[in-house]
């Protein structure tokens, strides 16, 4: 019998790392604080809308998620042609890379930032140019600007940054965009923007950013809206850019149930506001607990806190697992802890008491 190796995948996939997950430890999980999920499950009107939509799920949703895109445009003060929707912010980034990235093109990003970025760039055939964060865990915008060269096609700015929770000052962000070539796409990943209480100046509101032509804003319903398991996100950009992304999306990019839940969340902003308020309060309580035990963490503008533990990150995460607390370690760098779950502080206090 002749043995063949079979089809060979694209060379860009060679050595592609897997998106990591956190496995449970030796005791039952008491608090899962590893994935930046919102606590509490689907809230009243959102849950009702999702359950009602299940009964109609034998029918396809509207092509392109046009009902959700229209609602988002009205909510955000932009044109429907400037919105593309998909099953999360990351799939939309993947489609943006598909539409604009050519083999060998460079994507400049801060590092450490969202761990999926280099994977998506590699799959698209591009090359990641990673610029170290500043000592306080924030984007080093001057260094990122200096890293932009002739092969740069896209610049990624995660604001607030995952996993450090730090933010880019709005005036610095606008100046940064001003200094870049107009043919370089600037992608602002605002997955956690609802937790960021800073007011935006007129130059940084979403319609003003999009009007620049080369700025793309990514947002999601997975975090503050609490729809992580349903998968819905959106992209806002100039009509030509949003149109290019829509052209490479599947015809039904968001499920019927996800659209119904997202529309209900937009229609009931009080649900979002209450969750965000409670999370901000809990975030500061967790920071205070850590500070009281001698662990100072950077100010966070997201729904998590960052412990810059360096080489102690992995041992701390393992100790958390032994206490039934799942956190997200980045070996040699730090630990990210999602806040919001009501039992987190009690379990974290046990861990800190055992930590030396």
Q: What is the mean pLDDT of each run of 10 residues along the chain (356 residues)?
A: 72 73 78 95 94 95 97 98 98 98 96 97 97 96 98 98 98 97 98 98 97 98 97 98 98 98 97 96 96 91 97 97 96 96 96 92
Same domain, 244 and 171: yes
Give domain status of residue 11, yes or no.
no
Q: Which of 211, 246, 267 is the last residue of a domain?
A: 267
In this predicted structure, what is the pLDDT of residue 249? Answer: 98
In this predicted structure, what is the pLDDT of residue 19? Answer: 65
Neighbour-count burial of 200, counting CB atoms closer than 10 A to its CB (0-12 exposed, 13-18 middle, 19+ buried): middle
How many domains does the chain contain in total?
A: 2
Give domain status of residue 4, yes or no.
no
Give domain status of residue 57, yes or no.
yes
Cα dihedral 242→17→34→190 (10° resolution):
-20
Give domain status of residue 233, yes or no.
yes
Same domain, 80 and 168: yes
In this predicted structure, what is the pLDDT of residue 17? Answer: 73
- Coil, strand or helix: which one is 229? coil
CATH code at 72? 3.40.640.10
In this predicted structure, what is the pLDDT of residue 20? Answer: 66
Same domain, 299 and 257: no
Same domain, 147 and 162: yes
In this predicted structure, what is the pLDDT of residue 2? Answer: 62
For residue 325, give both structure tokens. Answer: 């607390």
Give domain status of residue 74, yes or no.
yes
Give domain status of residue 211, yes or no.
yes
How wide is the angle at C-alpha 38 spanned by C-alphas 35 and 39, nearest 5°? 110
In this predicted structure, what is the pLDDT of residue 284? Answer: 96
Between CA 314 and CA 137 the distance in angstroms is 19
* Residue 339 Cα distances to 48, 172, 205, 320, angstroms: 26, 28, 27, 14
Contact between 92 and 235 under an 8 Å Cβ cutoff? The reply is: yes
Residue 196 has a CB neighbour count (10 Å cut-off) of 18
Contact between 34 and 326 under an 8 Å Cβ cutoff? The reply is: yes
Contact between 182 and 214 under an 8 Å Cβ cutoff? The reply is: yes
Between CA 236 and CA 68 the distance in angstroms is 13
Q: Which of 230, 251, 267 is the last residue of a domain?
A: 267
Give domain status of residue 297, yes or no.
yes
For residue 155, give both structure tokens. Answer: 């610049």
Range of the domain at 322: 21-36+270-354
Q: Which of 267, 283, 312 is the last residue of a domain?
A: 267
CA atoms within 13 A on the CB side of 278: 14
For residue 268, give both structure tokens. Answer: 């009931």
Give domain status of residue 2, yes or no.
no
Same domain, 245 and 345: no
| Residue 277 CA to its chain's centroid (Å) | 19
Helix boundaries (H) for 101-238:
116-123, 141-147, 170-179, 206-210
In this predicted structure, what is the pLDDT of residue 3? Answer: 59
């Amino acid at each position: 019998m002749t043995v063949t190796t079979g089809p060979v995948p694209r060379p860009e996939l060679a050595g592609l790392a897997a998106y990591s997950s956190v496995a449970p430890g030796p005791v039952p999980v008491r608090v899962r604080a590893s994935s930046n999920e919102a606590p509490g499950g689907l809230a009243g009107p959102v849950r009702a809308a999702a359950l009602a939509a299940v009964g109609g799920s034998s029918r396809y949703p509207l092509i392109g998620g046009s009902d959700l895109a229209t609602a988002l445009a009205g909510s955000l003060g932009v044109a429907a042609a400037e919105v593309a929707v998909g099953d999360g912010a990351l799939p939309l980034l993947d489609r943006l890379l598909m539409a604009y990235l050519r083999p060998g093109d460079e994507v400049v990003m801060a590092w450490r930032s969202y761990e999926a970025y280099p994977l998506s760039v590699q799959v698209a055939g591009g090359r990641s140019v990673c610029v170290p964060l500043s000592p306080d865990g924030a984007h080093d915008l001057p260094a990122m600007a200096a890293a932009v060269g002739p092969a740069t096609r896209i610049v990624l700015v995660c604001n607030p940054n995952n996993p450090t929770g730090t933010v880019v000052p709005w005036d610095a962000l606008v100046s940064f965009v001003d200094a870049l070539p107009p043919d370089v796409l600037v992608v602002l990943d605002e997955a956690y923007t609802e937790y960021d209480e800073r007011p935006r100046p007129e130059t940084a509101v979403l319609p003003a950013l999009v009007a620049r032509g080369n700025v793309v804003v990514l947002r999601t319903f997975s975090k503050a809206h609490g729809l992580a398991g349903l998968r819905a996100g959106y992209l806002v950009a100039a009509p030509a850019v949003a149109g290019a992304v829509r052209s490479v999306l599947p015809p039904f990019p968001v499920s019927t149930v996800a659209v119904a839940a997202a529309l209900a969340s937009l229609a009931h902003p009080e649900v979002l506001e209450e969750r965000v308020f409670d999370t901000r309060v809990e975030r500061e309580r967790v920071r205070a607990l850590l500070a009281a035990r001698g662990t100072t963490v950077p100010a966070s503008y997201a729904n998590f806190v960052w412990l810059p533990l360096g080489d102690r990150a992995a041992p701390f995460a393992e100790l958390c697992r032994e206490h039934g607390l799942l956190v997200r370690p980045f070996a040699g760098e730090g630990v990210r802890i999602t806040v919001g779950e009501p039992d987190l502080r009690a379990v974290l206090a046990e861990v800190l008491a055992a930590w030396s």
